[in-house]
Amino acid sequence: MTGERERLIVVDAANVVGSRPDGWWRDRAGAARRLLEKLAVLDQKVSEAIEVVVVFEGAARRAVDDAPQLGEVRVVLADGSGDDAIVDVVRDAAAEDSDRAITVVTADRGLRERIDAYGAESVGPRWLWELLDQ
């Protein structure tokens, strides 16, 4: 579901996937693909209108090669730093609508400081996993 005034949720995929010691390091693309599958139904698990953007970097970028139907999830493939791509997404969204609620899912303190400048809030991976595992 996309549209004006939806909460934008930007997912730091590397940070979220890496927050669970489930063997993701053996198959980074597979772990990223599993996250995508769960994110595709996130809008059904929250009580507000949302837009979901997930940022992949490195080997996890291969997750979209054979990804299932992504629903309304927008995927950003970082050419370099995933953190830089996340800041770009947040900056662009804030410039488009300065009153829009923006939430970044990450435990990265440096990234949290960078997105604060654009009025975005941050939550840790546990917040997202608790929603996804419902």
pLDDT digits (tens, 9 = 90+) for 27-52: 777 888 888 889 988 888 888 999 99
Whether residue 43 lies inside any domain: the answer is: yes
Domain with 87, as residue range(s), is 7-132
State the Cα–Cα distance between residues 40 and 37, nearest whole angstrom: 5
Structure confidence by residue, pLDDT tens digits, 48-93: 999 999 998 877 766 676 554 566 788 898 888 999 999 999 999 9
State the Cα–Cα distance between residues 5 and 129, nearest whole angstrom: 24
Cβ atoms of 128 and 39 within 8 Å: the answer is no
Whether residue 1 lies inside any domain: the answer is: no
Domain of residue 121, CATH code = 3.40.50
Cβ atoms of 116 and 93 within 8 Å: the answer is no
Whether residue 24 lies inside any domain: the answer is: yes
* Angular region, 82: left φ>0, alpha ψ -120 to 50, beta rest: alpha
- Tally of domains within the chain: 1
Whether residue 34 lies inside any domain: the answer is: yes
